[in-house]
Structure 1
Amino acid sequence: MSNSKKTPVKSRWRFLVLFVVVLIILLQAIGLPVAAKTPVPADPTAAQQGLTAAERHTALTQLAAVLAEHYVLPEMAAQLSTALLQAETAGRFHHLQSKQQLVDEVGGWLRSVGKDGHLGLELTQSYGEVTHIRHESEEKRRNNFAFEKLEILPGNIGYLKLNKFVQADAAFDVASQALQFLSRTDALIIDLRESAGGSPQLVRYLLSHFVPADTLLWQLERRSMEQTEQAEEVRAQVVLQKQLQMPLYVLQSVNQASAAEFFSYALQQQGRATVIGETSAGLAHYTGAMAVTDWLFVRIPLARPLFPKNADNFEQRGVVPDVKVPAAAALQQALLLERQRRDNIAQH
């Protein structure tokens, strides 16, 4: 999907990035060097330390450089980086007194300006390393890796409530056991109304129970790659033919985000499920982690998915349900649609 010719759009992006680089060089003349360095182990007390003006300036100018070079959308990368440098020069963040305050306020500012809920900052000391994997709470791990509820509803309708696609090997085992338990139902309702995202690999594994083998789910497009990367399903060891054919209903809410949206959207794109509820949050980008200083790293979108049906995704638009109802009414709506489906079959 690459193009060797320099289009006007790509030339404009290159000009914007060059403009940002010039701004950074100018700031070097009045501040500190802005080139990001490989981090060294963070001071164990970094989270409690205050923030000097020099540390703030270094962090924000190096953050601007990382955004300009790596954020997935080149034009937005240039806009974000330029806006951050201008805000620092204007004194927008000069009141910050601690590193945690910088993480909170600058992170929120980036999400607001970029309209990208995946952007954020973290203290390296809090994680012990620069990592794209967020810490999971012990409560979620004890709670069946967010597989909150399995139930067989009247009429042999399966019901699964999943609150997050947890990034953990054991979550795959729980997923397999859950779907085996529900595999002999005549229809399945998957409730993602409280799901906050998580692991794309677990999404692909769950999807493999409901789509044919070797199904192309989406492709990933990165700034650093000339070719797109295909994402097929992570195949389960046992997939029953009945699961590949059973009626599926996915419940969603306005707060449903990221990995949970991938699940809904992929099934919707494949014509494999009826999505019911509210339009979701609209966080489609793949997010990684990059060092900014020895005490700070940024969670930054590095790739965007392209789904085969429309060569697009749901970023900032959300997954639009097939049947729009308030989230609180989505389960009853799914049960109603399943009854109507069975009545239609009986009549014919």
Structure 2
Amino acid sequence: MTFFRFANAPIAAVALMLAALPGLSWAQQPTKTDTPEPSAVLSPAQADAAFQAIVAELDRSYVFPEKLPTIRAALHQAKAAGRYDVDTPSVFAERITEDMKAASADGHLYLYYAPAESAAAKTSRAEGPKPGDALDTFLRAQAARDHHGLSDARLLAGNLRYLRITGFEWIEDETGAVYDDAMRFLRDADAIIIDIRGNGGGSHAAVRYLTSHFMDSDQLLFTFLKPGEPPKQSHTLEHLPAGRMKGKPLYVLIDGGVASAGEDFAYQVSQFRLGELVGERTAGSANNNLLVPVDPGFMLSVSYGRPVHAVSGGNWQGTGIAPTVPAESSTALDVAQSLALKRLATRPDATPRQRAEYAWAQIGLEARRHPPAVTVARLKTLAGRYGQATVTFKNDALWLSTRPGGPTRRMTPLTEDGLFAIEGNEMLRARFTSAGLETLWRGDPNPRRFPKK
């Protein structure tokens, strides 16, 4: 997780989002609600002071002292060349970030301009944010606007349940309840899909809370190491209001935008074999980082520690985490759905009704992934009267009305042999046969037949 260093406590660090354990954080610059004024100008004196403060913080806190000479030399060389002689704070931050990352290959080294966040961090007390103080207010407001990082929950065909987590935010005594609601939704699924594509990080406390639902209690996850301090451990939690989901089929969507605490969750899934990782290799940023306010209005991220996993004895720094099911990021959800449906259909305890539902869902999914080729000429031949139903052709598509005066809905081909979806009703499909038209309701093995007139 991320830590702050406070102006009135140069050695103290307290956890972002009030988490109690050290953990993993943002390897990519987080999206901030704090938007700088367009008129903000960085003077040469301010730029020089910021530069000196950044170098001093690196010397004081960076976890890999052997890399410091290279980083320091790169920054001083760029400064001497005039690279930082700019008056726009965001440009200054971008250039410092680019040079630190190029010299260190560390995704947790970055600088960003966020005046409100920086001011809040500077004015908080030495022991950390307290209810009602500036930093606490800032973090709580951000988490509330983001719904604590849980941005989407959906019921997919076949009783697959989907959860999108854009960031692992954590506010003590608040975020857990948000996760509890999400876990209650997921626990009744036949299979679970958790989408962390593009998740750049956050708090290990949130990752631990989520991971605990898929594991036994009190299992060691990580030992966190920081020079000069005793090791600290993180275990799965004992009490979970929504209960555990051990053994539930789990599919986690990943890509190159997944970093830090996002990778923390993917790594737990990989090392403890909790499910499949579907998508692309992650970024490879494992170190713990400290967030330090730097005048005027900057926040500096510095790696200060590293996690050691209970299973691997290491972490994913520099290598990332490989998917178990490779897929392009843009298609990962469809690939995960298809794989989940196929596996569910082969389970020995699946009922005939469940298998029919999985097959129904698979047809629709495959049609979306690989749209069938049905020509306009073929569509025109299918238009006509079928009993009391009418199929019309307009705008290069077929439209169905099952009774006179009833609603007319667009028909979309699902297969090349005459099966169609009905727009706006996932429970209903239509199939053209040699005898006419059939309408099929999901879960009902008996179609309704309309003879062609």
2:203 matches 1:216: no
Deviation at 1:322, TM superposition (A): 0.8
1:189-268 counterparts in 2 under 5 A?
A: 189-225=193-229, 227-241=230-244, 243-268=245-270
Deviation at 1:292, TM superposition (A): 5.0
Deviation at 1:120, TM superposition (A): 1.9
2:89 matches 1:85: no
Query: Match of 2:305, as an amino acid?
Result: A
**How many Å separate the matches in 2 of 1:50 and 1:143?**
30
Match of 1:173 in 2: 177
Counterparts in 2 of 1:270 and 1:198: CA distance versus 1, 3 Å: same
Identity %: 26
Number of aligned residue pairs: give it.
305
Q: Is the 8 A contact 1:204 1:234 kept in 2?
A: yes
Q: Is the 8 A contact 2:195 2:254 kept in 1?
A: yes
Secondary structure of 1:301 counterpart: strand
Match of 2:59 in 1: 68
Deviation at 1:209, TM superposition (A): 0.7
Deviation at 1:64, TM superposition (A): 1.9
Counterparts in 2 of 1:218 and 1:102: CA distance versus 1, 3 Å: same
Q: 2:158 aligns with which of 132, 139, 155?
A: 155
In structure 2, list runs of 5 or more residues that go unmatched: 1-6, 11-35, 123-127, 129-134, 351-453
Q: TM-score normalized by structure 1?
A: 0.76
Counterparts in 2 of 1:308 and 1:168: CA distance versus 1, 3 Å: same
Is 284-293 or 170-179 further displaced after alignment?
284-293
Is 230-239 or 308-317 further displaced after alignment?
230-239
Decide which structure has greater helix share: 1
2:262 matches 1:271: no
Q: 1:51 aligns with which of 40, 43, 52?
A: 43
Match of 2:425 in 1: none
Counterparts in 2 of 1:117 and 1:316: CA distance versus 1, 3 Å: same
Measured on the aligned residues, the alpha-carbon RMSD in Å equals 3.3
**How many Å separate the matches in 1 of 2:141 and 2:60?**
36
> Of the two structures, which has the highest relative contact order with CA contacts closer than 8 Å and spacing of 6 or more?
1
Match of 2:92 in 1: 102
Query: Match of 2:187, as an amino acid?
Result: S
Q: Is the 8 A contact 1:215 1:233 kept in 2?
A: yes
Is 92-101 or 212-221 further displaced after alignment?
92-101
Query: Match of 1:216, as an amino acid?
Result: L
Deviation at 1:223, TM superposition (A): 2.1
Query: Match of 2:203, as an amino acid?
Result: S
Counterparts in 2 of 1:297 and 1:255: CA distance versus 1, 3 Å: closer
**How many Å separate the matches in 1 of 2:251 and 2:162?**
10
**How many Å separate the matches in 2 of 1:107 and 1:165?**
23
Match of 1:120 in 2: 110
Match of 2:186 in 1: 182
**How many Å separate the matches in 2 of 1:310 and 1:166?**
26
Query: Match of 1:314, as an amino acid?
Result: W
Query: Match of 1:110, as an amino acid?
Result: M
Counterparts in 2 of 1:258 and 1:235: CA distance versus 1, 3 Å: farther
**How many Å separate the matches in 2 of 1:58 and 1:139?**
29
Counterparts in 2 of 1:347 and 1:248: CA distance versus 1, 3 Å: closer
Is 196-205 or 112-121 further displaced after alignment?
112-121
Q: Is the 8 A contact 2:143 2:170 kept in 1?
A: no
**How many Å separate the matches in 2 of 1:145 and 1:289?**
19
**How many Å separate the matches in 1 of 2:141 and 2:218?**
35
**How many Å separate the matches in 1 of 2:211 and 2:42?**
47
- Residue deviations 1:254-288 (CA, integer Å, cap 9, x gap): 21222211111112111111111111122212111
- Residue deviations 1:98-141 (CA, integer Å, cap 9, x gap): 55543232123222322223222245743214379896797873
2:153 matches 1:141: no
- Residue deviations 1:189-212 (CA, integer Å, cap 9, x gap): 111123232222111111111111
Counterparts in 2 of 1:336 and 1:55: CA distance versus 1, 3 Å: closer
Higher CA-based Rg: 2
Q: 1:287 aligns with which of 289, 292, 305?
A: 289
